[in-house]
Amino acid sequence: MPIPRVAALAVLLAAGCPARTTPPPSLARAVEHIADGDCDAAEPILRRLLDERLVDPAQLHHYLGVCRQADGDLAGAEPHYREALRINPALFESINNLGVVLGELGRHEEAVAVLGMLAQAYPAEPSAHYNLGFEQAQAGDLEAALTSFRRAAELDTCGADALLQASEVLRALGRLEERVEVLQEAVGRTPGDAVAALALARALREAGRMQEAIAPLLAAVSEETNDAQALAAVALELRNLGHDDDALAAAKAAIGRAGDDGEALRVATLTCAVIARAAGRNEDAQSALRAAIERQPGQPDFAFFLGGLLAEEGRCDEAIPLLKRAHGAYAAADPSGAQARESARALEACGAPLL
């Protein structure tokens, strides 16, 4: 006869099996919660460890600062970083994060002082120079910012972020040819990257070197790691350069890259429709919009754009159901909003009542 569950438990207790207990708090557990984005679970552990003096208090204050910063409580993060540094002035991440927090609070001169100290203490660390450059630019010292970004790029020869920031400083300084050179280096470091390719293409266009801008954009279209929204931006830049066929191909590639991401599909499809309509290829625009409606029938932007195209062709019988669907969604979200007004005007142009 099987032992009943209660009796079996009694046997186990009689045998001396230890009762389950809550594991003691640990810094490792708190850090795991922070890595998972769960500061609500991490902070009580950190505070208990701090109260019980079980772990280095500098580390505990640092991670409490990280949690406050992650939750957007910048004023609450600052004292934790300062206390961590009072206990251990050499904590790189606390100095860095304090500088970033001060910058986000709009205290750019203080941020420059903190991050300048960091760059001096850790001269071989590229992120110290990068963050210093960012705050120097925010404080209006563009030449100093350019020097910092160039130093960060020298130390990190794989990434292109520091070069991209340097290019923005050079644009503000009006040094367009230097900007192009810096962005060519960025593209050389990250071939096919859409962000770098777009920045270079725009710089070349502003410098009047239109034809040179095409190649990096086409390379970005071919690069599989670029996401749908990045490809949509590339498509628009190709359109701006007068390459409609390449632009439309890039937009269609963006649609294919969108997958199940609803916002990416919306951006890519509308980009494709805008480019196709401007190029006089309404069939391509309508085809993209119809396919998108099949995938996301509740998205009003697709119905509105397609309804508008059909109305322009005098096909109001087909347009009205789409426009009514779009207007209903827009009016429900914001009855007096621009989208509700535009869809109402489109219906009126087709002679259809709103109800």
CA angle (161, 164, 166) in 5-degree steps: 110
Check: CB of residue 98 under 8 Å from CB of residue 81. yes
pTM above 0.85, yes or no: no
**pLDDT score for 55:** 86
Which run of H or of E encompasses 84? Answer: helix 74-87
Residue 10 predicted with pLDDT over 70:
no
Residue 14 is which amino acid? A
pLDDT confidence tier of residue 54, bands split at 50, 70 and 90? confident
Burial zone of 199 (CB within 10 Å; 0-12 exposed, 13-18 middle, 19+ buried): buried
Cα distances (angstroms) measured from residue 249 to each of 152, 258, 293: 37, 14, 20
The predicted-structure confidence for 184-197, as pLDDT tens digits, reads as follows: 999 999 999 999 99
**What are the φ and ψ backbone dihedral angles of 124, each rounded to 5 degrees?**
-95, 5
**pLDDT score for 26:** 85
Cα–Cα distance, 260 to 13 (Å, whole number): 52
The predicted-structure confidence for 239-281, as pLDDT tens digits, reads as follows: 999 999 999 999 999 999 999 999 999 999 999 999 999 999 9
For residues 12 and 142, the model is more confident at 142
Cα–Cα distance, 284 to 209 (Å, whole number): 30
Average pLDDT, the chain: 91
For residues 178 and 15, the model is more confident at 178
